[in-house]
Structure 1
Amino acid sequence: MKYLFFTFFLISSLLINSQEFPDISLNDIDGNNVSVKELADSDDIKIFSFWATWCVPCINELDAIADVYEDWQDETNVELIAVSTDDARTGKRVIPLVNGKGWEYQILLDENQDLKRALNINVLPYVVVVKNGEIIHTRTGYTPGSEEELFEIVKEHSK
């Protein structure tokens, strides 16, 4: 049974990691329409971090990355795009929270959860690392220190 589960997990991970990034447009917090496919189609690595205002681990992860984000950008030219999955009920909390935190990320609003659905995301926080339009890494959940593991993956693929 363990072998079957491991095999399923490995195959699904390979399929997800070879998946092309979806062609969906979202609004940023200024109301501008942004194509996530265009963002993802870059030689530079993009980290899409899916989060919500009610998700404490999501906010902890984005706070932890904010502390080292400038160094990450200097070393690898990586860009983090924080994709809020808040719906109409909780969406009004996004801008005040982002402004209060002072996050320097591009913030996109996935209010209808179109991108979240297209990527089959069921649990937050969820991180997708993309290069040249291809998903090269995904991760669910956050524990303190896992941002360093994420940066190791970014460095490995930015060469």
Structure 2
Amino acid sequence: MRKTFLSLMVMLFGVVLTANAQLPSVTLKDMNGKTVRTDTLSNNGKPFIIDFFATWCKPCNRELKAINEVYADWQEETGVKIYAVSIDQAQNINKVKPMVDEYGWTYDVLLDPNSDFKRALGIQMIPYVIIVDGSGNIVYKHNGYTEGAENELIEKVRELVKK
């Protein structure tokens, strides 16, 4: 009964903590067509956030817009970096750059048109956010978005920076 309750709570809140998991090695492309291996993503020893989105996903876009409003402050305070990973399929990938430009996102945007990275991480739904510490360990995962959820993200990053 207790295990069922805990499993239900994790699903309801969409939060999963993972001890010492590393990023899988998947090859993606950046917005300029350059190949990027996901296991080499880093931020010079500082935490970084990976945010999975799609152009058609309204909660994803609300989340990334909300983060964009405070991203410069976050960077100044903590040095955090954000990788926004589009899971738009190949036939829709041409919609990503116009959207990024329209919203003025300064994130490093990566393209995962076959959802290989998403699948390798066991992600079922988006939006989905991962925080990776300065040593490359996945320390936080969150599924879904509600207004103000970005505040929880920066608090987790602040905790990592203090360590």
Structure 2 partner of 1:4: 3
**For residues 20 and 6 of structure 1, do their structure 2 counterparts lie closer, same or farther at Cα, with a shift above 3 Å needed?**
farther
TM-score, structure 2 length as denominator? 0.89
Structure 1 partner of 2:126: 124
Segments ≥4 residues shifted beyond 6 Å: none
Corresponding residue pairs, total: 156
Q: CA deviation at 1:36?
A: 1.8
**For residues 128 and 7 of structure 1, do their structure 2 counterparts lie closer, same or farther at Cα, with a shift above 3 Å needed?**
same
- One-letter code aligned to 2:50: F
Shifted more, 22-31 versus 72-81: the winner is 22-31
Structure 1 partner of 2:34: 32
> Distance in 1 between the 2:84 and 2:96 partners?
11
**For residues 149 and 91 of structure 1, do their structure 2 counterparts lie closer, same or farther at Cα, with a shift above 3 Å needed?**
same
Q: Which of 152, 157, 162 pairs up with 1:154?
A: 157
**For residues 41 and 77 of structure 1, do their structure 2 counterparts lie closer, same or farther at Cα, with a shift above 3 Å needed?**
closer
User: Is the Cα contact below 8 Å between 2:43 and 2:80 reproduced in 1?
Assistant: no
Q: CA deviation at 1:133?
A: 1.5
Structure 2 partner of 1:145: 148
> Distance in 2 between the 1:13 and 1:102 partners?
30
Counterpart mapping for 1:79-94 below 5 A: 79-94=81-96
> Distance in 1 between the 2:38 and 2:152 partners?
24
> Distance in 2 between the 1:77 and 1:45 partners?
8
- One-letter code aligned to 1:144: E
Aligned-partner SS, 1:120: coil
Structure 1 partner of 2:49: 47
> Distance in 2 between the 1:33 and 1:46 partners?
19
Percent same amino acid at aligned positions? 43
Q: Which runs of 5+ in 2 are unaligned?
A: none
Aligned-partner SS, 2:36: strand
Aligned-partner SS, 1:89: helix
> Distance in 2 between the 1:81 and 1:137 partners?
15
Q: Once superposed, what is the RMSD of the aligned Cα atoms?
A: 1.8
Q: CA deviation at 1:96?
A: 0.8
> Distance in 2 between the 1:104 and 1:17 partners?
29
Structure 2 partner of 1:57: 59
Aligned-partner SS, 1:58: helix
Pairing 1:70–2:83 present? no
**For residues 40 and 22 of structure 1, do their structure 2 counterparts lie closer, same or farther at Cα, with a shift above 3 Å needed?**
farther
> Distance in 2 between the 1:152 and 1:142 partners?
16
